[in-house]
Structure 1
Amino acid sequence: MSLVTEELKAKAEVYHGDELCQEKSKFLLKEIGLPNGLLPLKDMEECGYVKETGFVWMKQKKSTTHKFEKIGKLVSYAPEVSAHVEHGKIKKLNGVKTKELLLWITLSDIFVDDPPTGKITFKTPAGLFRSFPVSAFEIEEKDGKGKEGKEAAVEVKEV
């Protein structure tokens, strides 16, 4: 059952299409002080944000599983992921599970320590939690200038 109603959409900034939703979700994560690779959703159809309440949602065509290589953890994202966000925190998270041993465990809260110690903590509805380095969830942003600089350096070496 979707938590996103038409009434809620009327109060929200709503975006459609994978490219725009990818850009907006990464921007939101950065804006609230969380790593930009925390929600690696694919084929997003819609995303929205209600500023007054901090409610966000992201809809993708189908559920996806992502492995965070730096920590060796599998995370499953449902077709609809929703939460309430504030600076450094995601609360009331729906649609995200992580695999621990042989079990899929629902995540309910994510937060970065304040002041930042470089740790991000994931909490379950039962109160269990686990912390990891924030760097494990960051994606290096592609910079066209950096690429050009490298190509120029290669040309200098060849000449």
Structure 2
Amino acid sequence: MCSSSSSPSIHDLLVSRGLPKGLLPKEVKSYTLSENGTLQVFLDEPCLTKYENRVFFDSVVRANLSYGSLIGVIGLSQEELFLWLPVKDIIVDDPKSGLILFDIGVAYKQLSLSLFEEPPHCKPQGTSMPSSFLLLPLI
């Protein structure tokens, strides 16, 4: 298992795996990456940031990391039309397209890779979800 103390930064790791470095906030404290590709990212506390819409990061974000994708994401939600939807997968199929795909369960959302050029600052949310947080369960 790799840990951030003996490995590249999480942002460098993302770039080496075909993902933009700005996908995760600057406030990432550490991460672990197992041999089977399970990535765990640790933040001091849950936080909010914004790309195109507001995004909520839990204090631990998990996913299976492979080249160009984070699959089975847990701990990341995106605001869509006043609702908070869990992000399930994040995929960069073709970097030349300039697009990144977010699977938010009920839909796929394409965003410009340019939104993710730099790691954003993430504002602490304490231990609670955003006040307008309504997470829709996926059936």
Map of 1:4-153 to 2, 5 A cutoff? 12-15=1-4, 24-42=9-27, 44=29, 46-50=30-34, 52-68=35-51, 71=52, 73-114=53-94, 116-126=96-106, 128-139=107-118
Amino acid at match of 1:78: D
Which consecutive unaligned segments of at least 5 residues does structure 2 have?
120-139
Which consecutive unaligned segments of at least 5 residues does structure 1 have?
1-11, 141-159
Whose helix proportion is higher, 1 or 2? 1
The answer to whether the 8 A contact 1:33-1:88 is kept is: yes
The answer to whether the 8 A contact 1:54-1:84 is kept is: yes
Report the CA distance between 1:139 and its aligned residue. 1.5
Normalised by the length of structure 2, the TM-score is 0.77
Structure 1's consecutive aligned runs of 4 or more residues displaced over 4 angstroms after TM superposition are none
Q: Distance in 1 between matches of 2:89 and 2:60?
A: 16
- Deviation by residue 1:63-110 (Cα, 9 ceiling, x = unmatched): 000012xx3x11000010011011111101010000011110000100
Change (3 A) 1:122 1:43: closer
Q: Distance in 1 between matches of 2:86 and 2:11?
A: 22
Larger Rg: 1
Amino acid at match of 1:100: E
Report the CA distance between 1:53 and its aligned residue. 1.0
Say how many residue pairs are matched: 119
Q: Which has the higher contact order (CA 8 A, sep 6+)?
A: 2
Report the CA distance between 1:132 and its aligned residue. 0.9
Q: CA RMSD in A?
A: 2.0
Normalised by the length of structure 1, the TM-score is 0.68
The answer to whether the 8 A contact 2:4-2:10 is kept is: no
Q: Distance in 2 between matches of 1:60 and 1:139?
A: 17
